[in-house]
Amino acid sequence: MFSRKALVAAIALFCCAGGAFAQAAGNVAATATSGNSTAADEIARINEDIAVLSARLKHLDLRAQIVTKQAEIDRAAATGGSANIDSTAPVVRGIEGVDGKLKATLAFTGGVQQTVSKGEVTRGGWTVSDISINSVSLSRGKERIKLGFGNEPPASTAANQTMPGPAGAGGRPF
């Protein structure tokens, strides 16, 4: 009989302990699952943040490229783009010199020619800012132009605005 009582007690203890064990195992499994869920949620949130930040970076890069391109366009317009040709701007007839001491012969409207060196002021108030073997650059205030080679300078501002062809054609500044 004692063994029967012991067996019943053991079964009762096992059932109580088994229930507690099952409950503890369920809690551990739930904790592990919610821990994995939390980690998965955190990874998903980080990936979303990365996507948003990457889009912002691309947006800022694009805006920087636009600003750079606009500055380039503004510089081109200020340095003698075809729409800003001045009728007082001459054309280069020739460049000569030795040992880096170059002189340029410029032709102005009306048939006037002038030989200049770097730093000299030309007709029309232009200052020679640079002379290289293949170009002459002039400045006047904030204006900057690079002169093209040609036989005759532009006749007038109205003629410049109606002349077809790329800048630099026909002896115009480019």
Question: What's the CATH code, domain 85-171?
Answer: 2.30.30.830
Q: What is the pLDDT of residue 128?
A: 93
Element (H, E) at 89: none
Q: What is the CA radius of gyration of the chain?
A: 42
Tell me the per-residue pLDDT of 57-91, one tens digit each, with 9 for 90 and over.
999 888 888 887 887 777 766 655 544 445 567 88
> If DSSP states are collapsed to H, E and C, what string results for 76-109?
HHHCCCHHHCCCCCCEEEEEEEECCEEEEEEECC
- pTM here is 0.41
